[in-house]
């Protein structure tokens, strides 16, 4: 800890006090009479507060909401035309996403399912096919795990081109981190006696689109998959799969089938339209790659970020980093467009396949520059810059964009998206 405070790259206690004193001095025009320790100690009597209630609403001073989007580049649409709604990453602190601000991606709206009538069919290459009720699932052993969920379309804004006016909510708002609770997939596999020759599992949703995906039965998926009925301590919300969804930590959002109605075990992929016509990766040579399922190492600076404005002097750079391959081990931040890098602090907790928060205190000298973050995971994967990412993957594909995000800062302190 002492090392941290003596590190010249970080905001020291002395510098913190100088910086806040400077703010108080220059803020004279804004705050009529700056409070002193004496005036604050003398608390005036207050009247009764607002009534207590069934829910805790946000403070009226906090403006925070998702934004519905229709397609890349089509923002501020009528919600009925939206295909997703993105999380306000710029407004978050810590690592857990509030459930009501968790991004939403639904291919044909949100079905209204009665849990007492809902059933999950488990069949195919199994000894004992079962039809499970929610009560059955809740009676089984349960586990909880904090992990991220990310739409594989996250970041597509910046892959090809994007206006300089996009915010981090536009560019990266399709990722969230929660505590997920439910039945381990491995328990269910044992319960129905899945045939050892079975290598794939079909998961199908009970929505109008009946989204269905083939999932390879790798050791990792068997060990970590969850039939989740809980999110952040309460039953799933309808938008996120109530009453039960599949949760596969680290794997592309689309596989995490919401409103789960069926698991079918087989010895080959089922080739649904969701893995043939959709969710394939068109390569530069025109051939398509199927079943690219892992979310790669990623990070983004959430503040300062697109459309914010900063002042010269002390500024805190903060953001989120995550990887489908495991734990984040390092995040570096550059304040000169990638020429030099400093190691940012990970403020914890740093959990495998969960978003980790990083922070780096920085003094902006007032000259135009670019800020960018780069993350590394425990398997040694390093987040590529945009040019090398495109050199490798091209620009035909739509999914799994995970290149570094650059924010430009002009001489007036305006922060803008840059296609570096």
Task: Determine if 151 is a binding residue for ligand MTE (CB under 6 A).
Answer: yes
* Segment lying near ligand MTE (by CB under 6 A), choices 30-38, 44-52, 129-137, 253-261: 253-261
Phi, psi of 19 (to 5 degrees): -65, -45
Spatial CB neighbours of 194, under 8 Å, sequence gap ≥ 6: 125, 126, 217, 265
* Segment lying near ligand MTE (by CB under 6 A), choices 18-26, 67-75, 126-134, 202-210: 202-210
Segment 76 to 115, residues that bind ligand MTE, using CB under 6 A: 102-107
Query: Residues for the chain: how many in total?
Result: 420
Task: Determine if 214 is a binding residue for ligand MTE (CB under 6 A).
Answer: no
Cis peptide bond N-terminal to 420, omega within 30: no
Q: Alpha-carbon torsion 92, 97, 100, 105, what sign?
A: positive
For β-strands 120-124 and 260-266, DSSP reports them as parallel
Rounded CA separation 79/358 (Å): 33
Residue 296 structure tokens: 């790669």
By CB under 6 A, the count of residues binding ligand MTE is 21
Hey, how many other C-beta atoms are within 10 angstroms of the C-beta on 111?
16
What is the b/e burial string over 328-337, where b = at least 16 CB atoms within 10 angstroms of the residue's CB? bbebbbbbee
Nearer to ligand MTE, 84 or 376 (CB): 84
Rounded CA separation 249/243 (Å): 19
- The entry of ligand MTE, Mo ion, none that residue 332 binds, CB within 5 to 8 Å by partner kind: none
Rounded CA separation 316/310 (Å): 10
* Segment lying near ligand MTE (by CB under 6 A), choices 59-67, 235-243, 308-316, 375-383: 235-243
Task: Determine if 240 is a binding residue for ligand MTE (CB under 6 A).
Answer: yes
Among 126, 211, 346, 356, binds ligand MTE (CB under 6 A): 211
Residue nearest to ligand MTE (CB): 205
Among 86, 172, 258, 360, binds ligand MTE (CB under 6 A): 258
* Segment lying near ligand MTE (by CB under 6 A), choices 5-13, 46-54, 239-247, 363-371: 239-247
Residue nearest to Mo ion (CB): 151
Nearer to Mo ion, 95 or 256 (CB): 256
Return residues touching ligand MTE (CB under 6 A).
102-107, 149, 151, 205, 207, 209, 211, 239-241, 253-254, 256-259
């Amino acid at each position: 800890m002492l090392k941290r405070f003596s590190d010249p790259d970080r905001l020291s206690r002395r510098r913190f006090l100088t910086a806040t004193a400077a703010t108080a001095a220059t803020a004279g025009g804004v705050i009529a009479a700056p409070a002193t320790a004496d005036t604050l100690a003398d608390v005036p009597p207050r009247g009764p507060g607002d009534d207590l209630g069934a829910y805790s609403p946000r403070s009226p001073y906090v403006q925070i909401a998702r934004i519905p989007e229709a397609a890349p580049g089509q923002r501020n649409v009528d919600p009925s035309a939206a295909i997703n709604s993105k999380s306000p990453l710029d407004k978050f602190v810590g690592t857990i996403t509030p459930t009501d601000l968790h991004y939403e991606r639904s291919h044909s709206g949100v079905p209204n399912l009665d849990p007492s009538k809902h059933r999950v069919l488990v069949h195919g290459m199994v000894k004992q096919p079962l039809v499970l009720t929610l009560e059955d699932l809740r009676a089984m052993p349960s586990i909880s795990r904090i992990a991220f969920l990310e739409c594989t379309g996250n970041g597509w804004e910046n892959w090809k081109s994007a206006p300089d006016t996009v915010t981090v909510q536009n560019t990266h708002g399709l990722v969230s981190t929660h505590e997920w609770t439910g039945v381990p997939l491995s328990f269910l596999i044992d319960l129905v006696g899945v045939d050892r020759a079975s290598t794939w599992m079909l998961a199908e949703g009970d929505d109008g689109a009946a989204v269905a995906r083939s999932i390879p039965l790798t050791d990792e998926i068997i060990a970590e998959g969850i039939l989740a009925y809980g999110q952040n301590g309460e039953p799933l919300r309808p938008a996120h799969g109530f009453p039960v969804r599949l949760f596969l930590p680290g794997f592309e959002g689309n596989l995490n089938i919401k409103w789960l109605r069926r698991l079918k075990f087989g010895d080959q992929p089922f080739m649904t339209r969701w893995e043939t016509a959709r969710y394939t990766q068109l390569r530069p040579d025109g051939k398509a790659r199927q079943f690219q399922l892992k979310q790669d190492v990623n990070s983004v600076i959430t503040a300062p970020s697109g459309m914010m404005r900063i002042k010269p002097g002390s500024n805190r750079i903060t953001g989120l980093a995550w990887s489908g391959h495991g734990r984040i081990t390092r995040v570096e931040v550059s304040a000169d467009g990638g020429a030099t890098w400093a190691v940012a602090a990970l403020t914890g907790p740093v959990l495998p396949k969960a978003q980790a928060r990083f922070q780096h205190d920085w003094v902006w000298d007032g000259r135009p520059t670019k800020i960018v973050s780069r993350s590394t995971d425990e398997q040694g994967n390093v987040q590529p810059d945009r040019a090398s990412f495109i050199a490798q993957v091209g620009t035909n594909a739509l999914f799994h964009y995970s290149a570094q995000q650059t924010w430009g800062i002009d001489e007036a302190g305006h922060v803008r998206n840059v296609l570096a």
